[in-house]
Amino acid sequence: MSADAEYEYDLFVIGAGSGGVRAARMAAAAGARVAVAEDRYLGGTCVNVGCVPKKLYSYAAHFHDSFDDAIGYGWQLPGPASLDWATLRDNKTSEIKRLNGIYQRLLEGAGVTLFNARAKLSGPHSVDLATEEGSTQVSARQILLATGGWPWTPDFPGSEYALNSNQIFDLDRFPERFLVLGGGYIAVEFASIFNGLGSESHLIYRNELFLKAFDQEVREFTRDEMAKKGVKLHFGTNIKRIEPHGAALNVYLTTGELLEVDAVLAATGRKANTQGLGLETLGIELDENGKIPVNERYETRVPSILALGDLTDGPELTPVALAEAMQLVDHHFNHTEPMPLDYTTIPTAVFCHPNIGTVGLSEEAAREKFASIRIYRTDFKPMKHTLSGSTERMLMKLIVDDATDVVVGAHMVGEEAGELIQGIAIAVRAGLTKNDFDRTVGIHPTVAEEFVTMRTLSRY
């Protein structure tokens, strides 16, 4: 496919995150002439200030428990372990720089032109590019918006002293006392991470329980396990104000409580990163959630302008953006009609301690959808902890539509839940039945075998 004579490119992508880079590469592979504009960093949120550094810090935090667990297995450590924050932080930075280079080489290898510039829509087929040297304009048959999300911090007295999730990875000094505000993925994960790294860790959430979109039993089990590990949970409260107190911060809560901490993370959500994109130039309006409306072909109200990932309404997950990018390329450059994505069976993990892995419906959602369901669940002390001395427990749960015997939800709280649930997600996506699970021979001794050995009905 060659570019239309009147346009310089077939596809111009604004944003070099996971979705934008995947769309650019796949379109180029289909013969399109493609360019990408990025004014910050290659790889987007996930690589630079999201999934990758978060998981690296989560690995680091797990060592705290591992050192304690090793004693029960006969290991004699030379002395109490201590964290060198600078080593962790700087090694993380080196790894991200390595990944930035990989993304650049992937684009170059695919023949994609990369502009290190701030891009803004100037027409249905034109983009203005601004750099320190000046500005220029390019034209494209289609323009893809893939600028992802951006952290949002609520406004309250002293909110300027709170960090957002873009800033938390590169602190000059380790916070011995850490507070996170919020009840979503990021808040729960970082409360666990800094607790595991050795901070006195507090989580503040205005509602009665975090992770509101998750299965209620999973939420309650996670709450109890995190509390056992030492995370101080403050539900039904909010931050009233923050005041500096020497090198520390005084955090005043709506309950009247005062907490003195060294750092505050406002993990209160992310919003679509649409500011400065020039949407108003083309009359593209955001929906009630601040997202860009698109059709099944990822077209906005202006057909030549496309959008995907966190800019649009859907799960804000990197693999979703990647899948949408491939769908978009199939529609517009491979000229096929791909099967629509099934957003109901997208698995996800929360890398708190212990981890959460989940796919499909929660028990509450299943009760609303089906006339009758069956619940199979178990919680137990994993074999690993029979010698470690840890009191950590694990939860595993299957939700079954009683009429068809199809497993419509699977949930797990425990070590490596994200790794394990990926395989279970294939079964749930395929529509396998509880009988299929029961007929699958388990691997012994593993915790994973519990998913195929839960035969006793827990409740209807």
User: Looking at residue 252, what DSSP letter applies?
Assistant: E
Pairing of strands 177-181, 263-266: parallel
Token representation of residue 152: 């949002």
Q: Are 151 and 270 in contact (CB under 8 A)?
A: yes
Q: What type of residue is 75?
A: W
DSSP code string of 262-296: SEEEE---EEE--TTS-GGGGT----TTSPPP--T
Q: Write down how long the chain is.
A: 460
**Alpha helix stretches (DSSP H) within 143-212:** 185-197
Q: Which helix (H) or strand (E) holds 412?
A: strand 407-413
Tell me how far apart the alpha carbons of residues 87 and 80 are, in angstroms, rounded to a whole number: 18
Tell me how far apart the alpha carbons of residues 143 and 453 are, in angstroms, rounded to a whole number: 51
Nearest 5°: phi and psi at 267? -105, 65
Q: Are 64 and 194 in contact (CB under 8 A)?
A: no
Token representation of residue 312: 């649009």
385 among known catalytic residues:
no
Token representation of residue 204: 């503040």
Q: Sheet containing 248-253: give its strands across.
A: 239-245, 248-253, 258-261
Question: Among 202, 234, 331, 444, which one carries the catalytic annotation?
Answer: 444
Strand, helix or coil for residue 389: coil
The span from the first CA to the last CA of the chain, in angstroms, equals 56
Tell me how far apart the alpha carbons of residues 143 and 7 are, in angstroms, rounded to a whole number: 11
Nearest 5°: phi and psi at 24? -60, -50
CB environment 189-200: b (16+ within 10 A), e (fewer): bbbbbbbbbbbb
Pick from 149, 95, 85: nearest CA to 314 = 149
Active site residues: 444
